[in-house]
Structure 1
């Protein structure tokens, strides 16, 4: 096998895809059928599904920075569907199914790896809550179960079963938990969309939204004004700011969310391990690095800076879970900005402005929703504003009629 692989790699006629790069940027047209604001995973996924499955290609994706350079590049790439509510579980379960087929869909390896996620329970109340979550997940086709200490030891032999004097009583074992390369997901969607005629314009900032008689008619950018039939905002932590340009408010507060990674070490941790009581989750990448993440910062801020305070508290909790990690060196630290709603569920669908559609409120789980978000938002646009049933519970007017979809506590590291 090694010799055949070497022979294949040294072949002169090694297959190479000539159009691997994205198209050279073009001048903005005066109008488009659809303008998508934001070229993160959600924005380019929506463009891809519009072009491939609905034949809508007169689409411009506008990005003030670069492709996938916002929260898509600033997350820890966890994929899961073990949420609290039936609405949330149905939605994220569909996303997991799409993720599993994305490499084949793109003919492009996104390095999807099913590893399972283990969430630790340290109290009787948490055990009861996990039992309920497991049953809801099973009901909608997810592979989730409550397991005991012995099974946890077998899954993660290096775990301290009594971290911070809080014994591990049980665990929520989510077999569908996975990871994927976030940049590969963004590039795969962007490549597929642009090959079908969608235009991707980086370094193109939307400075204002043009609304006439209650309907969006165009957007102003740093490169000129564009007319459009409809617009979609998919700008993550800047959602409330962009909505303000369209003339309405959103029930969103933006907080920084930090993570960090160590030097690479030999593989020892396959599952993703988290503890909401310790506000910490730990995973090992395919390169051997150890990734640490936790809850959002406790104050609103539109900034992606890192802080020593969070680093110290997060690493202290991680070391409680895996004491030997005290000997590792930290390699880098980063942050994103999360658009949090009061019920910890997204806002998708219609807005107070006609033909202006919302993809917002993702908080800390936007990456894992990328495929299903793109698919359903494309269905919304292609149908002329008919909201798909899967995202109907996430309408913004749920806050007016008190029909929140409460996912508080469903995070890997509770906020």
Structure 2
């Protein structure tokens, strides 16, 4: 038992430190900004609205608990080695914000630098890795194409021999990738936002939106209706359902995305290792667990159940890379909700409604975008203009046939 926890157990009631997050207050009749979704993105947006733009009348609503949706159902990887210039610039800013996030929030989000390697098993994937490396370097993101020998030096336990069923021909090496503690990110933003006057209302289902003219004037909840000057949608899984309340039809297909962790073992893997051809990835947490995931399920479904089919398929591919893990046991398995767009890029910013903003379509990479989403969505709401960094991800790009085309860097998302 940690010594701090033992000391806390023997404290008198008068010595108990004050709770960092205040109790849920009563809903007010009106807020300047109502944010639907108390995950990482919604909380980060609220924090930046309060801190940077001095907007203090903010309510964050969630049907569940703080950070209990996709924020708690991901594998906590941070990277910027994408394919398109728009995607690379966006995730580069997010990764830079992650580097100093613990200091920014005065809350340890356990951000850790980790080498990130995307393996190439075919000549075609090798060409794609070279393409990504050049785009990354052009935009100031550290990435390079490395050969099999260098892959083996970085991960000596990886099966790189020619006798492998899927030989490794090289990899895209991204030495400045990392991982962070997902619940710590959500709690860090929540605590600091609450200190700035933001109200966080958990267990507050949004049941509808009142639209007058071309504006959302009220958000209806099971605890009553609240008026709003502006409204932000930052939910996952329920994205299409909430958007329909606003009369929006989104180019989104929602599918489960499963992952799992093993029992803790001694340190054996140094990097985040991804195989786009095998649709799997693996890294080792500070606690020794092997964090593993694969492709999204092939059918739309609004459920976070786990399946044996996923686990069997994933383990077959993981053992192609690390055959010696055959006797390691899986300890936990879960699923999140992946909102997939046709071009594998998010939908962000302004909508056809004058005061309704959206942060959606994150598919398999929403966690790593948390800091930049909070910063730029807050800018969008406060200025009522689409920030330049978010311009490629506009809501209407599909009707304009101006898609981003990030599927080539999603690796396990297709």
TM-score by length of structure 1 reads: 0.95
Take 1:210 and 1:108, find their aligned partners in 2: how far apart are those partners?
37
CA deviation string 1:56-110 (max 9, x = no partner): 0100000100000000000000000010100000000000000000000111111
2:391: which partner in 1?
392
**Does 2:290 match 1:309?**
no
2:273: which partner in 1?
273
Take 2:17 and 2:367, find their aligned partners in 1: how far apart are those partners?
29
1:322: which partner in 2?
322
2:375: which partner in 1?
375
Aligned residue for 2:255, secondary structure, equals strand
**Does 2:16 match 1:21?**
no
Take 1:119 and 1:87, find their aligned partners in 2: how far apart are those partners?
20
Take 2:166 and 2:306, find their aligned partners in 1: how far apart are those partners?
29
1:208: which partner in 2?
208
The answer (yes or no) to whether the contact 1:42–1:370 under 8 Å persists in 2 is: yes
2:41: which partner in 1?
42
CA deviation string 1:150-174 (max 9, x = no partner): 1100100110115851211110001
Aligned residue for 2:156, secondary structure, equals coil
Runs of 4+ in 1 over 4 A off after TM superposition: none
Take 2:362 and 2:219, find their aligned partners in 1: how far apart are those partners?
23
Take 1:34 and 1:275, find their aligned partners in 2: how far apart are those partners?
42
Aligned residue for 1:397, secondary structure, equals coil
The answer (yes or no) to whether the contact 1:258–1:293 under 8 Å persists in 2 is: yes
**Does 2:81 match 1:82?**
yes
Take 1:373 and 1:231, find their aligned partners in 2: how far apart are those partners?
16
Query: How far apart are residue 241 of structure 1 and its match?
Result: 0.8
Take 1:248 and 1:280, find their aligned partners in 2: how far apart are those partners?
34
Take 1:125 and 1:168, find their aligned partners in 2: how far apart are those partners?
13
The answer (yes or no) to whether the contact 2:81–2:88 under 8 Å persists in 1 is: yes
The answer (yes or no) to whether the contact 2:207–2:222 under 8 Å persists in 1 is: yes
Query: How far apart are residue 409 of structure 1 and its match?
Result: 2.4
The answer (yes or no) to whether the contact 2:31–2:226 under 8 Å persists in 1 is: yes
1:145: which partner in 2?
144
Aligned residue for 1:399, secondary structure, equals coil
Take 1:260 and 1:233, find their aligned partners in 2: how far apart are those partners?
29
Query: How far apart are residue 304 of structure 1 and its match?
Result: 0.5
Take 1:207 and 1:414, find their aligned partners in 2: how far apart are those partners?
31
Aligned residue for 2:345, secondary structure, equals coil
Query: How far apart are residue 367 of structure 1 and its match?
Result: 0.2
Take 1:17 and 1:135, find their aligned partners in 2: how far apart are those partners?
55
Take 1:71 and 1:181, find their aligned partners in 2: how far apart are those partners?
13
Aligned residue for 1:369, secondary structure, equals helix
Take 2:103 and 2:181, find their aligned partners in 1: how far apart are those partners?
15
The answer (yes or no) to whether the contact 2:257–2:335 under 8 Å persists in 1 is: yes
Query: How far apart are residue 141 of structure 1 and its match?
Result: 1.4
TM-score by length of structure 2 reads: 0.95
For structure 1, the 5+ residue unaligned runs are 1-5
The answer (yes or no) to whether the contact 2:165–2:320 under 8 Å persists in 1 is: no
**Does 2:141 match 1:135?**
no
Take 2:158 and 2:113, find their aligned partners in 1: how far apart are those partners?
20
Take 2:329 and 2:413, find their aligned partners in 1: how far apart are those partners?
26
1:3: which partner in 2?
none
Take 2:230 and 2:18, find their aligned partners in 1: how far apart are those partners?
30
Take 1:217 and 1:208, find their aligned partners in 2: how far apart are those partners?
11
The answer (yes or no) to whether the contact 1:277–1:414 under 8 Å persists in 2 is: no
Take 1:117 and 1:353, find their aligned partners in 2: how far apart are those partners?
40
Query: How far apart are residue 18 of structure 1 and its match?
Result: 3.6
Take 1:93 and 1:187, find their aligned partners in 2: how far apart are those partners?
23
1:221: which partner in 2?
221
**Does 2:264 match 1:258?**
no
The answer (yes or no) to whether the contact 1:118–1:273 under 8 Å persists in 2 is: yes
Take 1:138 and 1:37, find their aligned partners in 2: how far apart are those partners?
37
Take 1:221 and 1:25, find their aligned partners in 2: how far apart are those partners?
15
CA deviation string 1:169-224 (max 9, x = no partner): 11000112100000000000000100000000000010001111121111100000
The answer (yes or no) to whether the contact 2:255–2:299 under 8 Å persists in 1 is: yes
For structure 2, the 5+ residue unaligned runs are none
**Does 2:72 match 1:73?**
yes
Query: How far apart are residue 17 of structure 1 and its match?
Result: 10
1:362: which partner in 2?
362
**Does 2:98 match 1:99?**
yes
The answer (yes or no) to whether the contact 1:122–1:168 under 8 Å persists in 2 is: yes
The answer (yes or no) to whether the contact 1:281–1:412 under 8 Å persists in 2 is: no
